[in-house]
Amino acid sequence: MGTTQLGTVPEPKYWHLRTVLAEALDTEFAVGEILPNERELAARFGVARATLRQALEQLELEGRLQRRRGVGTTVAPPRLGVDVSTPTHVWPGADQDAWQPRDCVLAPAPAPVARLLETAADEAVHTVRRVRVTHGQSVAAELIYVPSASVPELSAIDAPSGPARARSVLRELRRPALDGQDRAVELGSARADDAKELDRLPGAPVLVVTTRYAVAGRIAAVSVATYRADTCRLTFGESGDLEISDQPQERRAS
Amino acid sequence: MGTTQLGTVPEPKYWHLRTVLAEALDTEFAVGEILPNERELAARFGVARATLRQALEQLELEGRLQRRRGVGTTVAPPRLGVDVSTPTHVWPGADQDAWQPRDCVLAPAPAPVARLLETAADEAVHTVRRVRVTHGQSVAAELIYVPSASVPELSAIDAPSGPARARSVLRELRRPALDGQDRAVELGSARADDAKELDRLPGAPVLVVTTRYAVAGRIAAVSVATYRADTCRLTFGESGDLEISDQPQERRAS
DNA sequence: TAGTGGTCTAGACCACTCG
DNA sequence: GAGTGGTCTAGACCACTAA
């Protein structure tokens, strides 16, 4: 038996369909244009609607399509480059950045966050919720967790809730000198509350950026920001003008 | 009308199933354990197999499950933290890093890459392929594109192809002084060749890290690295020991 | 060869948007 | 109310793995 079988691998229909559609998007459609509806596309390609949807899901995951219930499927614009790099010693909300404070509650953090903060699982922490808006679009929702022990002054804030309280907490947060921060990016799916904020359905793919803020050698705060994976490209450094949105074509073997 | 309707939103079955399964994973299963097969699980929960699969797909996307055809569905270990931060002035392959050179060809770059390099779409560029291995696992596949003009010495390399040529090219690449680099992360789906290298099926979700290398104010090289999104968490800075793998629980509204 | 996940079908109904 | 995408069903067959 040969080592590599060339013609014997039957490509799944939905994968082939994805390729065909991707080429059509490049050549026959403009950004924002509406595609024929799923039932018509499925009929046109001679496949079941579920199969056609599998191909569309791929293209949506790659940021090339946008689908909205009740409206239709449109050709997505290139992904927005969103800068997530920060000066090492700057707290969130330090200056007029792109974030809009939404609310702040005092509640126990989720278990994984509590582990990062090295607090008891049931200890209440200040939780600021804010949303990042770029080009008129909500691209990220963030939760910032601050244990009371990190910034004692927080307990003196009297605004009961809402954006006002969130702003106060962020202001007080700037008191302690920040040693540094580090960051991790991973794939996740939007929880119900984030999905609503981002105008997506629950389960939509998101890029989760977890940041730890260190003060005096300890983690003083943790933020978990979820970015829309379909419309965003996270940039670090001065790479805001990067223009990679298309998938590279299939390469030829050597 | 009230501002928030609590019981009126019928949660999709697959989403509810995802939650139930996620809790079961936390409490009843150990890492590596094999779940009952899909047909049995579907029967147990009284749903169609397709619906059950939708829930499993979510959990796989979140890195909590691993599914292998012919084998079964197992509980995934926490995601590997993979450091993707680099000193600003260091070329790839500069020292003994975790990458294994595979091959190098001289071929036209994909259109989006050519745009980044500011080369003609049909101009042949040196393309190094290498694979990143951590803990005995292939976690990323990378293509490094270097136009001949950037490093003239490359044309003198005589190794025809294979890892030897790839190593030679990476060695010559270190000649010009690197001004700096910048980086972007976005969601993509694995092409056939990358999927094979990463032991995944085509279309599997990947985190695409695009790096531009600047020399004398111009982009001298571009690398596109695709990381397995299911098993990897990309870390920047000293955050290698971050331990966020679970999704935060649903939070209570204020 | 038995058992697993992966693909595919042909329907049905629902939730949402918009004219 | 018409049209869209989202969810769901109950099957079928295929590709792959391992005993």
3-state secondary structure B235-249: EECCHHHCCCCCCCC
Res B24 pLDDT > 50: yes
pLDDT, position B128? 95
How high is the mean pLDDT of chain B? 86
Nearest residue, CB atoms, B62 vs list A111, A188, A230 = A188
pTM recorded for the entire structure? 0.88
pLDDT, position A238? 59
Once rounded to an integer, what is the mean pLDDT over residues A245-249? 38
Of all residues in chain B, the percent with pLDDT exceeding 70 is 89
- Name, in order, each residue with C-beta under 8 angstroms of A195's C-beta and a sequence gap of 6 or more: A201, A202, A203, A204
Per-residue pLDDT band for B249 (boundaries 50, 70, 90) equals very low
pLDDT, position A239? 43
Sign of CA dihedral B59, A189, B199, A12: positive
- Distance (Å) from the alpha carbon of B84 to chain A's nearest alpha carbon: 10
Sign of CA dihedral B89, B95, B100, B105: positive
Closest CA to B93 of B126, B119, B137, B136: B126
Once rounded to an integer, what is the mean pLDDT over residues A173-189? 91
The kind and range of the H/E element at B143 are strand B137-147
pLDDT, position B96? 65
pLDDT, position A95? 67
For residue A48, which nucleotide's C1' is closest to its Cα? C9
Three-state secondary structure readout of chain A:
CCCCCCCCCCCCHHHHHHHHHHHHHHHHCCCCCECCCHHHHHHHHCCCHHHHHHHHHHHHHCCCEEEECCCEEEECCCCEEEECCCCCCCCCCCCCCCEEEEEEEEEECCHHHHHHHCCCCCCEEEEEEEEEEECCEEEEEEEEEEECCCCHHHHHCCCCCHHHHHHHHHHHHCCCCCCEEEEEEEEEECCHHHHHHCCCCCCCEEEEEEEEEEECCEEEEEEEEEEECCCEEEEECCHHHCCCCCCCCCCCCC
Per-residue pLDDT band for A142 (boundaries 50, 70, 90) equals very high
B77-92 pLDDT per residue, tens: 999 999 998 777 888 8
Contacts of A186 in chain B (CB under 8 A): 63, 79, 207, 229, 232-234, 244
A9: nearest CA in chain B?
B192
pLDDT, position A96? 65
Which residue is the nearest neighbor of D8, CA to C1'?
Answer: B51
pLDDT, position B238? 59
Closest CA to B245 of A81, A125, A224, A42: A224
> Distance of alpha carbon A102 from its chain centroid, rounded?
18
Burial of A236 (0-12, 13-18, 19+ CB in 10 A): buried
Once rounded to an integer, what is the mean pLDDT over residues B173-181? 88
Nearest residue, CB atoms, A187 vs list B207, B246, B254 = B207
User: Do residues B46 and B199 lie in contact, with contact meaning Cβ atoms separated by under 8 Å?
Assistant: no
Q: Which of A117-121, B100-104, B154-158 has the lowest mean pLDDT?
A: B154-158
Per-residue pLDDT band for A250 (boundaries 50, 70, 90) equals very low
Per-residue pLDDT band for A9 (boundaries 50, 70, 90) equals low
Structure tokens at A108: 């126990």
User: Do residues A187 and B61 lie in contact, with contact meaning Cβ atoms separated by under 8 Å?
Assistant: yes
Sign of CA dihedral B192, B198, B201, B206: negative
Domains of chain B: 13-75 (1.10.10.10), 82-233 (3.40.1410.10)
Res A49 pLDDT > 50: yes
Once rounded to an integer, what is the mean pLDDT over residues B17-27? 95
Res B254 pLDDT > 50: no
A83-92 pLDDT per residue, tens: 998 777 888 8
For residue B73, which nucleotide's C1' is closest to its Cα? C5
Provide the CB-side half-sphere exposure for A87 (13 A, CA): 9
Between B180 and B96, the more confident residue is: B180
For residue B70, which nucleotide's C1' is closest to its Cα? C4
pLDDT, position A94? 74
Of all residues in chain B, the percent with pLDDT exceeding 90 is 59
Provide the CB-side half-sphere exposure for B11 (13 A, CA): 15
How high is the mean pLDDT of chain A? 86
- Distance (Å) from the alpha carbon of B185 to chain A's nearest alpha carbon: 5
Res A169 pLDDT > 70: yes
Which residue is the nearest neighbor of D9, CA to C1'?
Answer: B48
Nearest residue, CB atoms, A184 vs list B191, B203, B234 = B234
Between B47 and A247, the more confident residue is: B47
Residue B178 per-residue DSSP state: P
d(CA B76, CA B205): 16
B103-157 pLDDT per residue, tens: 999 999 999 999 999 888 889 999 999 999 988 888 999 999 999 988 888 777 7
